[in-house]
Amino acid sequence: MSLVVAIAFTVYLSAAGPLLFARGGSAPVDLGPLPAGLASTDASACAGCHAEIAAEWRGSGHASSWTNKVFQDAYAVEPLAPCRNCHAPNNDGGLPAQLAASDGVSCNVCHVRGGHVLGVHGVTVAAHAGRVEPQLREATFCASCHQFGFFSEVDGQQVELAEPQQDTWGEWTRSSASRQGISCVDCHMPRSGQGAASHRSHAFLGGRDLTMLRSAVTATVTARREGQDVIVDARVVAAATGHSFPTGDLFRRAEMTIRAGDAVKTLSYARRFRDHVAVRQDGQIIRERREVADTRVPPPGAGIAPTRQVRFVGSTVAEVTWSFDYLIMPTIDAAAGGTPVERLGLFQGTATVATTRPDQPTAGEE
């Protein structure tokens, strides 16, 4: 993360009191003693009274955070402790096993600390002792695992660098959603159920939910003829999102595919990085990964994504077709491109090629 964002994050967390999560997955979660009245805080035990919420969670990315194949492929390349601590916080300091692996980010990871079951309302029931925990409402609570830098080895230890690997919280701080007091839970945990059964959804909607993805941005494509060529303008603008689109790790990118007859042009919406060799003040030489380009869509309040343009030289088509997709990339190709593991189609359409004056000025081409 940038130095300014890092300082703001540290100051905010210092004012918030003791953290429920170790910053950036620097340690496994410490649940503390078992709350009175409970024989276990495993997800299956919680499901006995909270069946609907447990079912939502079981189908979420949090439940499969450790077993997810894309993550496992990445972990095989870089088996770092912070990865284990965020994707399986109940690990015992080693490789997650049994429930720590199968339940990933389980109920107790967020809701159990120091002999209490935490909630935003502080409802105490006969089954267990409850405690109000305001941090559960805050974006900084989510930032503990969704905001961190790249790592590099220094003196045999993995040290977090300033360059953000995930900058979701930082992006949110620069958005209008932050200024309006709209937090992560407002979008990713919408209200579910009716009346007394109403609760915040624990399905944790995100990058695999088509409805949410389609609400995050809008896409428009226009085409015109310029001399012997066809010029296509593509514009993707943020809508209902509080962070860049896509956000998160290197495995998320979006892609606009434009076809004019048999010719195909592709526009990528992603971050690109390059490895550098850096010399620390103590003289040690380390490898740093730095961002060299960011073509993603910024959130409302953090700038407007420029219109991007492609040219089909000598094309005679009367219309072009296009599609805008959300991609989940494999580890080995995440930063450079490659064949996606999943391709989720968000929008598609056809644009008629309009006729304009040959000397009409154009924007930058790609």
CB 337 within 8 A of CB 282: no
Q: Say what angle helices 139-146 and 3-16 make with each other, to 10 degrees.
A: 130
Does residue 92 fall inside a structural domain? Answer: yes
| 3-state SS, residue 263 | strand
Q: What is the pTM assigned to this prediction?
A: 0.88
**pLDDT value at position 343?**
94
* Domain assignment present for 20: yes
pLDDT above 60 for 366: no
Q: Which of 278, 291, 65, 82 is nearest to 171 (CA)?
A: 291
pLDDT tier at 193 (50, 70, 90 boundaries)? confident
Q: Please give the pLDDT value at position 190.
A: 94
Number of neighbouring beta carbons within 10 Å of residue 350? 11
pLDDT tens-digit series, residues 255-270? 999 999 999 999 999 9
Percent of the chain whose pLDDT exceeds 90 = 64
- Please count the structural domains in the chain: 2
**Does one domain contain both 195 and 150?**
yes
> Does any domain span residue 316?
yes
What is the per-residue pLDDT for 189? 96
Is the pLDDT assigned to residue 2 strictly greater than 60? no
Q: How confident is the model at residue 8 (pLDDT cuts 50, 70, 90)?
A: very low
What Cα–Cα distance (Å) separates residue 29 from each residue in 33, 43, 106, 211? 13, 15, 11, 32
As a whole number of angstroms, the longest Cα–Cα distance in the chain is: 78
Nearest to 236 by CA among 223, 221, 252, 218: 218
pLDDT > 60? residue 155? yes
335 has pLDDT over 70: no
Tell whether 230 and 337 lie within a shared domain: yes
Asked if residue 321 belongs to a domain, the reply is yes
Structure confidence at residue 194 (pLDDT): 80
Mapped onto helix, strand or coil, the DSSP state of residue 100 is helix
Which residue, 182, 200, 218, sits at the end of a domain? 200
CA distance 8 to 171: 13
- Are residue 15 and residue 155 in the same domain, yes or no? yes
Regarding whether 237 and 346 lie in a shared domain, the answer is: yes
In a shared domain, residues 171 and 231: no
In a domain, residue 177? The reply is yes
| Boundary of a domain, candidates 200, 234, 264 | 200
Residues 181 and 320 in one domain: no
Same domain, 97 and 137: yes
DSSP string, 109-150: HHHEETTEEEESS---BTTB-EEE-GGGGSHHHHHHHHEEEE
- State whether 282 and 182 are in the same domain: no
Q: What is the mean pLDDT of the chain?
A: 87
Contact residues for 172 (Cβ-Cβ < 8 A; gap 6+): 139, 178, 184, 242, 243, 299
Is the domain of 176 the same as that of 226?
Answer: no
| Domain-ending residue, one of 200, 233, 252 | 200
Q: Are residues 129 and 254 in the same domain?
A: no
Residues 4, 7, 31, CA angle at the centre, nearest 5°?
Answer: 135
Domain-located, residue 346: yes
Asked whether the beta carbons of 256 and 234 are under 8 A apart, the reply is: yes
Extract the tokens encoding 232.
Answer: 């296509």
φ, ψ at 260 (rounded to 5°): -125, 95
pLDDT digits (tens, 9 = 90+) for 116-135: 999 987 665 667 778 889 88
% of the chain exceeding 70 in pLDDT? 89
Question: Same structural domain for residues 220 and 345?
Answer: yes
* Residue 332 domain flag: yes
Report pLDDT digits (tens) over 354-364.
986 545 444 44
Instruction: Give the pLDDT confidence score for residue 7 in this predicted structure.
Output: 40
The yes-or-no verdict on residue 325 having pLDDT over 90 is: yes
CB contact set of 194 (below 8 Å; sequence gap of 6+): none
In a shared domain, residues 73 and 133: yes
Boundaries of domain holding 231:
210-355
pLDDT of residue 338: 73
pLDDT of 350 over the 80 cut: yes
- Tell whether 147 is covered by a domain: yes
